[in-house]
Amino acid sequence: MPAKYKDTDYMYSSARLRALETKMLGREGCERLLSAENVDEMLEVLADFGYRTVRKQDADQRSKADREATLFTALSDAFREVAEILPQPHIVRLFQYKYDCNNIKAVIKARARGTDHKDMMFPLGTLGPEEVLEAVETGDYGALPEHMASAAKEAADVYLKTKNPQKIDLILDRACFADMLKAALESGVPFVIRYVRVKIDLTNILMCIRLLRMGAGNTGRSLYEDAIIDGGELHREFLLGLYDRGESRLAEVLAGTAYSAFAAAIDADSSISRIEHEADRYVMNMVRGVKWLPFGAELAAAYLVALEYGLTNIRIILAGKEAGLAEGAIRERMREMYV
């Protein structure tokens, strides 16, 4: 049964979240990052927004900033802080599950290929990397989230039979979204439930477009039918019809759904990266819709979405600066901001 919490149960956590939002890297912070002359200046900007710089030793035993570890630490801190102030844990867990999923994939693939898994794992899930490693190596998946626990064994078995790493991704991605939806339903918060369903729908639509652009015909349709993730607002039969009608009729087919604006913003000339950008814009517009609520569980979900988008923008800026791109070109790649 969904948890029974009233909006007023979130008054304290909402006040704390408002305080955390004031430190969030928004448009102003991104502009400061864009104008920074070097990595050290960028790290100073991030420090102003509460980011703790993680350092490591390079080959010459000199201390240097570890940018990825710094960003992971910021997200890990946020998961911990938000979990501590909420009256129930489900909202934070659903954001952590994708990192559990990544770590399970990493261990299964590394063991199958005889490679090292460490550089592919993130310390951001509901379980630590070592716990995931132990679960896969022992075959005791009981500590994993419910759907990913059963999917991990299935994925490992299917890979042994097919040697197709895509099967690992398909099986575990489907299970990850199932665990996310379960956590959302257990939260009892309509906005959080819809957020997960929208993420599922957009994932399915993007998958459909990619397969259509491959021109794989009936083979692509079979692949799509196998890969569709259930649990969204758009049902499996509708999604298969979307594939059957082709990309040229995407806007027409989605016109009567909640995704009409998303479909209208893209066309056949839109690159996959542009389409992904529009999908992220759709999600952020939805999240902004709860920004001005005085209090409620919705604010926790909005904060975590916004923080992850902010980290994406930091990576885009850093990569763009390293590649010598002009500020305008970097801005085009950046995601929508919450603040």
Task: Please answer whether residues 266 and 278 qualify as being in contact, where contact means their C-beta atoms are separated by less than 8 angstroms.
Answer: yes
pLDDT tens digits along 236-259: 999 999 999 999 999 999 998 999
Task: Please answer whether residues 301 and 194 qualify as being in contact, where contact means their C-beta atoms are separated by less than 8 angstroms.
Answer: no
Per-residue pLDDT at 1: 43
302 or 22, greater pLDDT: 302
- Cα–Cα distance between 15 and 6 in angstroms, integer? 16
Task: Please answer whether residues 6 and 188 qualify as being in contact, where contact means their C-beta atoms are separated by less than 8 angstroms.
Answer: no
DSSP label of 65: E
Per-residue pLDDT at 45: 86
322 or 208, greater pLDDT: 208
Per-residue pLDDT at 318: 84
DSSP label of 234: S
Alpha helices in the chain (DSSP H): 11-21, 27-35, 39-48, 67-85, 90-113, 129-138, 146-162, 165-187, 190-214, 217-227, 236-245, 250-254, 260-264, 272-288, 298-322, 327-333
- Cα–Cα distance between 58 and 266 in angstroms, integer? 44
- Cα–Cα distance between 134 and 121 in angstroms, integer? 13
Q: In this structure, which amino acid lies at residue 219?
A: T
Judged on CB neighbours under 10 Å (0-12, 13-18, 19+), 146 is middle
- Cα–Cα distance between 47 and 58 in angstroms, integer? 22
pLDDT tens digits along 36-47: 887 778 888 888
| CATH 1.20.1690.10 residue spans of the chain | 91-188
The whole model's pTM is what?
0.90
Q: Which fold has domain 91-188?
A: V-type ATP synthase subunit C fold (1.20.1690)
Average the pLDDT over 16-25 and give the result: 88
- Cα–Cα distance between 187 and 2 in angstroms, integer? 6
Average the pLDDT over 95-115 and give the result: 92
Residue 159 has pLDDT above 50, yes or no: yes
Residue 126 has pLDDT above 90, yes or no: yes
Per-residue pLDDT at 58: 64
